[in-house]
Amino acid sequence: MAFPVEPTHLVVAQPHLGPLLTALDEARERSGDTAGPWYAAPRTSDVLGLALVPLPDPERVAAGLRTWVSPGRPAEPEQGGPALDRVLRHLRAGFASRYFGWTPLLGKNRLVGRIHGPRRPSGVSGAGEVSHGGGGAPRAITPPSWATGRTAVTPGGVTVGLVDTAMVNHDYLAGAWTGPFAAAAEGRPADAEGGHATFIAGLIHRHAPAATVRVHPVLDGAGDADVWTAAHRIVEAGRAGADVLNLSFVCYTEDGGGPLVLATALERLGRDTVVVAAAGNHGHLKDGQDHRPAFPAAFPNVIAVGATDAPYSAKGPWITVLAPGTDLESTYLSGAVSVWEDPDGEGPAPAGRHDQIFHGYARWSGTSFAAAVVSAMIADRTVPGRVRAAEASARLLGPALLEGKPVRLDPRDAPA
């Protein structure tokens, strides 16, 4: 399965857009490039206070910027790495050399997600490793005992925002969520990834039955989106009044620093919104790559959740909570579903697809689902007007955070 193409957009603070475009024009003229502008028309976002600058040919820009970095000196030897990362390095170095270390607030757009897929080589930015289905593809199960005889629950006023795939209609979740439905598969089997939000919503409803899940779709049917789109959905969820915001997607960066766009979106959230995010399913990687920080989970104002005793779960000191994430049962798609399988595990053979019939429920594994369990546990302890989500989270995590290792939570034995 081929990876989608990474976006080729710079991201810059709106007040710094003019200096950036001026620098690009100046650098193109200095380089002697006469093939036309380096960038297309920028898009601005008042929600984020950022601008998106498309670079149709980042390789061309990276090559041309080399002579601009240090005016009057020979061009620096070109370093390796993706073209957009080289563009950022050159721009930051050029601004710093001219303005006594000052640089514009710059970043880049990138992919988030990948519910499954071939593993990327270590060090490659973007969607990266298997992000959500670390324990493999979802498996069909018969309707479990917990799903039968469900009694109606009156919503308690607590909202869990879910920035994820779209939802599908499901009897067990009737009245428990709001948001748009997933588009129909138009006569072909639905992709297994498209049931991701429905699986998460079922976990939240099981463990926090009085909470309402408000879905803000961003990941497509293959589990991909870019951070620019995801950031807008994060702000949207905060403005819609989410007490808890569940972000079960990841992205990685070359330098281990958090993406500017996601950081900006999280800064726009109010203090009353608790953010819970999946730590990532790259625990299988070697040479320390299992400790690669995944974002948004690795931001300091986010509860990063790994899966308890799971070899696929990421490691690292930025992970704050471990919760059950393996072989969890929840709501899922019905009918024919195209699921994936990797015949040789970590070997070179690509993952294949086959159709399988589901009956509305599945068993699945991943840190996405461990995050959903923690979101539900916080929501279940939140009482509007009496106990804010931040207070419920602090009580749940408690002094254990001071021990310097992830807090282990399990809805079966955690105190109410």
Question: What is the DSSP code string of 182-251?
Answer: PPP-TTSPEEGGGGHHHHHHHHHHHH-TTPEEEEEE-S-TTSEEEHHHHHHHHHHHHHTT-SEEEE---B
- Within a domain: residue 357? yes
Omega into 406 within 30° of 0, i.e. cis? Answer: no
Rounded Cα distance, 118 and 90, in Å: 31
| pLDDT, tens digit, 9 for 90 and up, residues 31-71 | 999 999 999 999 999 999 999 999 999 999 999 999 898 76
Question: Domain check: are 58 and 202 in the same one?
Answer: no
Range of 362's domain? 112-408
Is pLDDT at 132 greater than 70 in this prediction?
no
Residues 87 and 148 reside in one and the same domain: no
What is the pLDDT confidence band of residue 123, given thresholds at 50, 70 and 90? very low
Contact (CB, 8 A) for 166 and 183: yes
Look up the CATH number of the domain holding residue 182. 3.40.50.200
Alpha carbons 393 and 203: distance in angstroms, whole number: 18
Residue 232 confidence class, pLDDT cut points 50, 70, 90: very high
- 3-state SS string over 56-100? CCHHHHHHHHCCCCCCCCCCCCCCCCCHHHHHHHHHHHHHHHHCC
In this structure, what DSSP letter does residue 302 have? S
CA dihedral angle for residue 234, residue 166, residue 198, residue 282, rounded to 10 degrees: -60
In terms of domains, do 90 and 174 share one?
Answer: no
Full DSSP string of 263-319? HHHHHTS-TT-EEEEE--S-TT-STTGGG---BTTTSTTSEEEEETT-TTS--STT-
Query: Is residue 122 located within the same domain as residue 104?
Result: no
Amino acid identity of 48? L
In a domain, 140, yes or no: yes
Q: Which of 4-8, 154-158, 198-202 is predicted with the least confidence, judged by mean pLDDT?
A: 4-8
Query: Can you say whether the dihedral through the CA atoms of 225, 261, 76, 16 is positive or negative?
Result: positive
Q: Reply yes or no on whether the pLDDT at 250 is more than 80.
A: yes
Query: Looking at the chain, how many residues does it have?
Result: 416
Are 50 and 41 contacting, i.e. CB atoms less than 8 angstroms apart? no
Using an 8 Å Cβ cutoff, are 368 and 278 in contact? yes
139 shares a domain with 61: no
Q: Is the pLDDT of residue 266 over 50?
A: yes
In a domain, 225, yes or no: yes
Same domain assignment for residues 323 and 234: yes
Q: Band of the pLDDT at 114, cuts 50, 70, 90?
A: low
pLDDT mean over 156-176: 94
- Residue 2 in any domain: the answer is no
Taking the C-alpha atoms of residue 312 and residue 127, their distance in angstroms, rounded to an integer, is: 16
**Enclosing H/E stretch for 358:** strand 352-364
Select from 75, 91, 108 the last residue of a domain: 108
- Triad 30, 34, 36: Cα angle to 5°: 110
* Residues 373 and 315 occupy one common structural domain: yes
**How do 321-323 and 50-54 pair as beta strands?**
unpaired
- In one-letter notation, the amino acid at residue 398 is G
Mean of pLDDT values over 70-92: 79
Q: Do both 57 and 167 map to the same domain?
A: no
Pick from 294, 333, 289, 328: which is nearest to 308 by CA? 328
- State yes or no: pLDDT of 12 exceeds 90: yes
Q: How many domains does the structure of the chain reveal?
A: 2
Q: How confident is the model at residue 347 (pLDDT cuts 50, 70, 90)?
A: low
Mind listing the pLDDT tens digit for each residue in 353-403?
Answer: 889 999 999 999 999 999 999 999 999 999 999 999 999 999 999 866 777
- Identify the domain boundary among 92, 108, 124: 108
Same domain, 259 and 189: yes
What's the token pair of residue 25?
A: 């024009």
Closest C-alpha among 233, 153, 152 to residue 197: 233
Are 97 and 120 within one domain?
no
Contact 13, 117 (CB under 8 A): no
